Amino acid sequence: MQLREDIRNIAIIAHVDHGKTTLVDQLLRYSGTFRDNENVSERAMDSNDLEKERGITILSKNTAVQYGDSRINILDTPGHADFGGEVERILKMVDGVLLVVDAYEGCMPQTRFVLKKALEQKLTPVVVLNKIDRPNARPQEVIDEVLDLFIELGADDEQLEFPVVTASALNGTSGEGEDDQEETMEPIFNLIMNNIPAPIDNRDESLQFQVTLLDYNDYLGRIGVGRVFQGTLKVGDNVSLMKKDGSVKNFRISKLFGFIGLKRVEITEAKAGDIIALAGLEDINVGETVTAKDNQQAMEIPRIDEPTLQMTFLVNNSPFAGREGKFVTSRQIEERLLTQLETDVSLRVEPTSSPDAFTVSGRGELHLSILVENMRREGFELQLSKPKVIIKEIDGVKCEPMERVQVDTPEEYQGAVMESLGTRKGEMKDMVNDGNGQVRLEFLVPSRGLIGYSTEFMSQTRGYGILNHTFDGYAPLQKGNVGGRRSGVLVSQEKGKATTYGIMNLEDRGTIFVDPGTDVYEGMIVGEHVRENDLTVNITKEKHLTNVRSATKDTTNTIKKTRDLTLEEAIQYLDDDEYCEVTPENVRLRKKVLNKGERDRAAKRNKLQNAEE
């Protein structure tokens, strides 16, 4: 069997924030991909604005480095479980993985998630212990944790013989042990070349190229990125595209691109084992196969985990509708959601009985909130309902998604965390005390119990706790309410501007969400009530002027700092009878029914219906 020794195809996988993207930067730099005078930003692979702001990878990216006579194709993948659909497709393109693990934190929930996917694909692993320069690094213990995780996930004997290299991606050093760090990436490159299998050279067989990622260019239209699994591709070739629905389209390849560093370079030919991009067909989609016209054999479409969470996206119908957004109609929102479907395989969009509402299903709150954040930055205005988990029927039993939750917290907050996750139907699986006042707790919790939990968790641990979770599977649906908001809200009864006087009068009633001068409308949520019931308030109240001079006239009144909700916090905060109004400039919370009288009547009707049931 012939192998292409001049190529290695690898994916970099890890838990979020363990240093994948920084490591790719160093591999690019050390290989001489960048010129000495080239100005390259940190985490150069994170090109999207949101990725730069949040310091996380959302979209998979591919690059290539030249190492001696060989080319190493590197695919940088997201670490967050909400973007697991990206990880699964990428793994189909490669022959091995670089598993990056933090030398202090060790194996985390997403380490388990991405490693499980890699082992299922029978990929060859190389382990990189990153952040070896951290003061509390514990390399030997972490290697043991990694080995235990491999065994637990059913790795075969060959996979268990994984080589290990230590590194500090931030400092650009690596070595075989923690004490022999040098400013070089040579040890990592050597392990890749010596351990990751070279692709099979079957360029003489009939063509098979599978699309794994999609890109778009104003001049070339849609571009399919993927791997040539067998055969050869040339510019000008007439080929067939095997569509997902079983249909076949013939087209001519207009352009081929290879990758080197952060650039896409035009090429004329690609052979088995190459990772390339091709242009020429408008409606090419992820998972579809490009074949020779005389031998049309489609490859198996990668299986992607189903969505676990859904929300309703609606046309904004608040009193402020259309004031701030460019795209406000249902047709514009639907077109944008359908465009997202073309590149996001984990997303589902379904129409509802109303032409102004769409059910959008995704892999989690972060997945959906990133989509909404991108839409608002593009000028869209819309409303969102409370997120709900997707219940599935398995063998006649109603089942709900479960999350594996890992909590790292100081000992003093351990009781509060255990109690709060217990009320959310969490089942504790493990507890480890490191002897230095830190405790690691592991739970299995229904996904619906985690909606809106992160804010409560940060309050319980005074900001010192770290919460990580990843999708674990489906389990029989537990009865009763799980989680949910316990406090009521302060609802504006007037349309106008919030005043300092109005806010000061309400400060003892709860936490205020709006600043003085903010435009508000009837039914808009302006704060959180200290009690469980909702309270309608007049936040636009003006102080009446009198001709009586006050003894404290010159005293300056100050108001407490208001609580600003981010988009994600606002979505998590929602209750069943509320919407989140999202515009390019503002995120507002509101009641579905704006008028107080109508809300009270609706509440009475619901109470009667529940009593009859």
CATH number of the domain residue 398 falls in: 3.30.70.240
For residue 90, the number of C-alpha atoms closer than 13 Å in the C-beta half-sphere is 29
Q: Is 17 annotated as a binding residue?
A: yes
The C-alpha angle 48, 91, 161, rounded to 5 degrees, equals 125
The CATH number covering residue 48 comes to 3.40.50.300
- Given 446, 476, 506, the domain boundary residue is 476
pLDDT at residue 305, rounded to an integer: 66
pLDDT at residue 313, rounded to an integer: 92
CB atoms within 10 A of CB 415: 10
pLDDT at residue 437, rounded to an integer: 79
Give 459's contacts (C-beta < 8 A, 6+ positions apart): none
Same domain, 60 and 33: yes
Q: Residue 66: phi, psi to the nearest 5?
A: -95, 120
Contact 27, 188 (CB under 8 A): yes
Q: Is 132 annotated as a binding residue?
A: yes
pTM of the predicted structure, to 2 decimals: 0.74
Q: Is 541 annotated as a binding residue?
A: no
Q: Tell whether 583 is covered by a domain.
A: no
CB atoms within 10 A of CB 557: 9
Same domain, 65 and 151: yes
pLDDT at residue 179, rounded to an integer: 72
Same domain, 180 and 259: no
Strand ranges across the sheet with 124-130: 61-67, 70-76, 7-14, 96-102, 124-130, 164-168, 173-175
User: What separation in angstroms does the CA of 190 have from each of 29, 126, 411, 455, 538?
Assistant: 16, 11, 43, 45, 69
User: What separation in angstroms does the CA of 3 have from each of 6, 17, 75, 121, 201?
Assistant: 9, 35, 21, 20, 5
| Whole-number Å distance between alpha carbons of 393 and 464 | 39
The CATH number covering residue 566 comes to 2.40.50.250
Same domain, 167 and 251: no
If phi > 0 it is left, if psi is from -120 to 50 it is alpha, else beta; for residue 473 that is left
- Given 292, 307, 342, the domain boundary residue is 292
Helical segments of 200-344, H only: 330-343
State the residue range of the domain holding 270: 208-292
| Whole-number Å distance between alpha carbons of 311 and 46 | 27
Q: Tell whether 281 is covered by a domain.
A: yes
Q: Tell whether 252 is covered by a domain.
A: yes
Same domain, 216 and 160: no
Q: Is 21 annotated as a binding residue?
A: yes
Same domain, 396 and 280: no
Give 416's contacts (C-beta < 8 A, 6+ positions apart): 460, 461
Query: Per the structure block, which two tokens stand in for 331?
Result: 């047709």
Same domain, 71 and 12: yes
User: What separation in angstroms does the CA of 466 have from each of 127, 417, 459, 580?
Assistant: 24, 11, 12, 27
Residue with tokens 């302060």: 490
Q: Tell whether 370 is covered by a domain.
A: no
Q: Tell whether 349 is covered by a domain.
A: no
At 598, the amino acid letter reads E
CB atoms within 10 A of CB 39: 6
Contact 457, 427 (CB under 8 A): no
At 360, the amino acid letter reads V
Query: Per the structure block, which two tokens stand in for 396?
Result: 């006649």
Same domain, 39 and 142: yes
SS3 78: coil
Same domain, 177 and 64: yes
Q: Tell whether 355 is covered by a domain.
A: no
**Closest by alpha carbon to 365, among 112, 526, 566, 118?**
566
- Expressed in angstroms, the distance from the first to the final Cα of the chain is 69
Query: Per the structure block, which two tokens stand in for 111?
Result: 């380490």
At 385, the amino acid letter reads S
Same domain, 136 and 262: no
Same domain, 102 and 229: no
Q: Tell whether 353 is covered by a domain.
A: no
| Whole-number Å distance between alpha carbons of 357 and 334 | 9
Q: Tell whether 533 is covered by a domain.
A: yes
| Whole-number Å distance between alpha carbons of 58 and 74 | 16
Contact 191, 180 (CB under 8 A): no
Mean pLDDT per 10-residue run, the chain (613 residues)? 85 79 81 49 43 43 80 76 66 88 83 83 88 85 90 86 86 76 84 89 87 75 84 87 83 84 81 85 80 83 76 91 88 89 79 90 82 89 89 87 85 86 86 80 86 77 80 81 76 88 86 88 89 87 69 58 81 86 90 86 78 63
Provide the number of structural domains found in the chain: 4
Same domain, 257 and 154: no
- Given 476, 509, 529, the domain boundary residue is 476
**Closest by alpha carbon to 429, among 441, 413, 411, 415?**
441
For residue 389, the number of C-alpha atoms closer than 13 Å in the C-beta half-sphere is 26
